[in-house]
C-alpha cells in the first residue's frame, strides 16, 4: 500500500518545497505564507520549474524521496572502565 506524504509547514520558497520532496513528500501545502503574499504559490511553482531546469530534470516528481543521508561513521569503541571491578568503591 502506498500512502502519499504531504509536506506542510514553513513552505514559502521553491527551496522549501524541494526539500520536502527530497524527503519524500509527493505534495506540498503552502498555507500561511499565502496570507502575507497571495502570489507565494505561483512564485514557488516558478521556482520549482527553475530548479528542474537547473538540475536537468523534466519532471519534478523525479525528486520525490531522493534525499540520502551520509553513511554513518563506525561507532566508537566502548571506553575501558576507569576503575577495575575489584577496585570499585562500592560494596560487593
pLDDT tens digits, 48-85: 999 889 989 888 888 899 888 777 777 777 766 565 55
Q: According to the model, what pLDDT value does residue 75 have?
A: 72
Q: According to the model, what pLDDT value does residue 37 have?
A: 94
* Mean pLDDT of the 40-53 span: 93
* Mean pLDDT of the 38-57 span: 92
Can you give the pTM of this predicted structure?
0.68
Q: According to the model, what pLDDT value does residue 81 have?
A: 59
* Mean pLDDT of the 6-28 span: 93
SS3 track for the chain: CCCCCEEECCCCCHHHHHHHHHCCCCEEECCHHHHHCCCHHHHHHHHHHHHHHHHCCCCHHHHCCCCCCCCCCCCCCCCCCCCCHHHCCCCC
Q: According to the model, what pLDDT value does residue 36 have?
A: 93
Amino acid at each position: 500500500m502506498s500512502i502519499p506524504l504531504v509536506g506542510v509547514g514553513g513552505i514559502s520558497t521553491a527551496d522549501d518545497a524541494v526539500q520536502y520532496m527530497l524527503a519524500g513528500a509527493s505534495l506540498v501545502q503552502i498555507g500561511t505564507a499565502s496570507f502575507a503574499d497571495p502570489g507565494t504559490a505561483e512564485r514557488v511553482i516558478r521556482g520549482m520549474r527553475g530548479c528542474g531546469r537547473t538540475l536537468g530534470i523534466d519532471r519534478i516528481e523525479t525528486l520525490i524521496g531522493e534525499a540520502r543521508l551520509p553513511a554513518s561513521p563506525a561507532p566508537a569503541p566502548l571506553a575501558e572502565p576507569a576503575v577495575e571491578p575489584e577496585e570499585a568503591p562500592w560494596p560487593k
